[in-house]
Chains A and B, each alone.
Chain A
Amino acid sequence: MQRHPMTRLALAAATWLLVQGLLLATAGVARAEQRPAAAGEPIRIGVLVPLSGIGAAAGKDATDGWNLWWQRHGRTVAGREIQSFIEDTAGNPDLGLSKARLLVEQRQVHMLVGTVFASVGLAVATYVEQVGIPTFYPIAAADDLTQRHRVPNLMRIAGWSSSQVTHPFGEWVATTTPCRRLVTLAADYAFGHEAVGGFVNTFTDVGGQVLEQIWHPIAETDFSPYLARLAATRPDCVFAMPVGAPIIRFIQAWHDLGLWGRIPLYVGEVVTDQAILRGIDPPDLVVGLISAGHWAEGRDDATTQEFVRLYEDAYRILPSYYAAAMYTAAQWLTRAITAANGRVEDRQAFLQTVRATQLQETPFGPARLDDYNHPIFNVYIREVVKRPDGRAWNVVRHTIPNVSQFYKYDPEAYLRQPVYSRQYQGINWP
């Protein structure tokens, strides 16, 4: 049939030549950008954030928080200029991984910071483990990043983990409120499983009882069937954690079905984060909602409020935890680079310095790392309050100081358990 079967191969050849030519050309450009690493030269920091795709809004907050620190505190640390290379991951692990390699291999960055999505963070983790580059994750919350699958050169400075915040929250609800019989409702994926697992684990430790655990598809549009079922079990209280766009639909449904004020509702940190609160109109829908978080933009503290004011002046909105985390990570790195006298080329020594850095005053409160490269910080029981200017924010009702990712459990025993999942919620452990 083919009169000239080779023509197509020829075309392939031509096109690949073209593509390779382009690759080569860009490779040339990229090579030209490389500079030998030496003290006195700038310190290059690669930043991985989603700037396109569904994570773009979070990525913008993160970038803004990061840039704000350097704008306000100067781009020279220990005599060396700090250069940031911000790259788009599109929230896609393939692309995140490619960009990580680009930053490390072409741009020759000294360290990597970032990733919003856990999937991207985990994809990059295997790579950075192989090459040993100091890597910092202030946002990605997957428990196992600093637990069962931890990577020696990966530190969650200014970061958090899904269950870290809910561990004290579950215990707090069980011990300080009349709630004994609980129903949980959360997005059916790892982040939901881990956050709810943390809550349920401690809640049941102190005698609470879980009536039912409801998992909804992450992009749920209609919450009424879940809420009807939930109300029918007559719980004392509910812990809920939808994520993203469904949050507002969840809140609306909670009101519509008349559950507001009837069943006490406790929610996960992301539900009332500024990333969501900004978009809730009117804010009265969520005023009074109780959550726990490592970030509380309404915390009555000089450092926190200084950051909130700077951020508000610069961007006209209140900072989400993405912004606070990247700002604080920059603060952390500034301290560590200063302490290391700018010698970031010695990776082991630098990592050691970062690990040893303890911060008394950050927008989050005091922070330091545990033996597993994860921060120990305060967890705040927060309430959504309307400010005089009409905007809602989270103020602190109660502080649980120095919470580790293992809470009060023995780390070794804790790590022998699997990570929280639909199947394992820590109800019968310990």
Chain B
Amino acid sequence: MAAVPALQLEEVTRSFGRLQAVDGVSLRVEAGERRAIIGPNGAGKTTLFNLITGELPLTRGRIFLFAQELTHLPVEARIAQGLGRTYQVTNLFPQLTVEQNLLLAALGLTRTKFRMLAGLPRSGPVREQVERLLAEVRLEYARQRPARELSHGEQRQLEVAMALASRPRVLLLDEPAAGLSAAERVMMGSLIRALPRDLTVVFIEHDMDLALGLADRVTCLHYGQIIAEDTPDRIRTNAQVQRVYLGVG
């Protein structure tokens, strides 16, 4: 255990009333790793992400990002520590343009966001970042369109770009391919594959093939608990995982 893990969870638990949505999850993701989290609907995957970013408070457990404890920090402070995420249900600024959405994301961790009398950045790192991401997710043509007017696929791409805009060290993607057409799925896959190797990516994916194709390791969640964690190949043949997937449909 020489290297510091990028993300480490210790006995992370969250209950909603009597329901243990996430139940004693311990997880260790190495720096640069691609980790897929799979599991049937309602397994607690999204809840787990919300616990990591702080959007939901923990019932129990601890969370570390590069050995820095996040457990008691508010959302914005965790983001500032190097977390970025997307949402399962598209979560944008619907009336703002694509460019404004990205600018907001890129400004989030800078001091520039407090500037009251300066115009929006026309050059410099923030602007370059926005332009780079626009190019990367191929949304340059739509920069002036309100986010709500984008197609679903475009919105998913914008989500990813926004999560990347603050240059996170750990990226959490919640079902990035949900609701996408086959072609869009391929595009999303290559987008994720093209992410820099030093970026740690944890992604939730319902689609086994996509998940197993992208991941270094896979964690399978069921009723809030980890039932398996292994390499994609071995997960594919894991009896328990198969039972869970067949059982739930």
Real binding pair: yes
Which residues from chain A sit less than 8 Å from chain B, CB to CB? 1, 3
The 5 closest A-B pairs by CB, nearest first: A1-B120, A1-B100, A3-B144, A1-B97, A1-B99
By a CB distance below 8 angstroms, the chain A residues around B100 are 1
| B239 → A minimal CB distance (Å) | 55
Which residues from chain B sit less than 8 Å from chain A, CB to CB? 97, 99-100, 120, 144
With A and B bound together, what is the CA distance between A1 and B100 in angstroms? 8
By a CB distance below 8 angstroms, the chain B residues around A3 are 144
By a CB distance below 8 angstroms, the chain A residues around B99 are 1
With A and B bound together, what is the CA distance between A3 and B99 in angstroms? 13
By a CB distance below 8 angstroms, the chain B residues around A1 are 97, 99-100, 120
| B134 → A minimal CB distance (Å) | 14
Q: Who on chain A is nearest to B99 by CB? A: A1
By a CB distance below 8 angstroms, the chain A residues around B120 are 1
Interface majority SS on A: helix, strand, loop or mixed? Answer: loop
With A and B bound together, what is the CA distance between A3 and B97 in angstroms? 12
By a CB distance below 8 angstroms, the chain A residues around B144 are 3
With A and B bound together, what is the CA distance between A164 and B14 in angstroms? 72
| A276 → B minimal CB distance (Å) | 53
With A and B bound together, what is the CA distance between A1 and B102 in angstroms? 12
What are 5 pairs between A and B in contact, CB < 8 Å? Answer: A1-B97, A1-B99, A1-B100, A1-B120, A3-B144
| A2 → B minimal CB distance (Å) | 10
| A136 → B minimal CB distance (Å) | 52
| A133 → B minimal CB distance (Å) | 47
With A and B bound together, what is the CA distance between A198 and B144 in angstroms? 70
By a CB distance below 8 angstroms, the chain A residues around B97 are 1
With A and B bound together, what is the CA distance between A1 and B98 in angstroms? 11
With A and B bound together, what is the CA distance between A1 and B144 in angstroms? 8
With A and B bound together, what is the CA distance between A106 and B180 in angstroms? 70
With A and B bound together, what is the CA distance between A3 and B144 in angstroms? 9
With A and B bound together, what is the CA distance between A88 and B96 in angstroms? 46
With A and B bound together, what is the CA distance between A161 and B100 in angstroms? 62
With A and B bound together, what is the CA distance between A1 and B97 in angstroms? 9
With A and B bound together, what is the CA distance between A1 and B122 in angstroms? 10
With A and B bound together, what is the CA distance between A409 and B100 in angstroms? 73
| B96 → A minimal CB distance (Å) | 9
Q: Who on chain A is nearest to B143 by CB? A: A1
| B62 → A minimal CB distance (Å) | 42
Q: Who on chain A is nearest to B97 by CB? A: A1
| B98 → A minimal CB distance (Å) | 11
| B140 → A minimal CB distance (Å) | 15
Q: Who on chain B is nearest to A3 by CB? A: B144
| A3 → B minimal CB distance (Å) | 7
With A and B bound together, what is the CA distance between A1 and B99 in angstroms? 8
| B68 → A minimal CB distance (Å) | 36
| B121 → A minimal CB distance (Å) | 11
With A and B bound together, what is the CA distance between A3 and B143 in angstroms? 12
Q: Who on chain A is nearest to B100 by CB? A: A1
With A and B bound together, what is the CA distance between A1 and B145 in angstroms? 11
| A192 → B minimal CB distance (Å) | 46
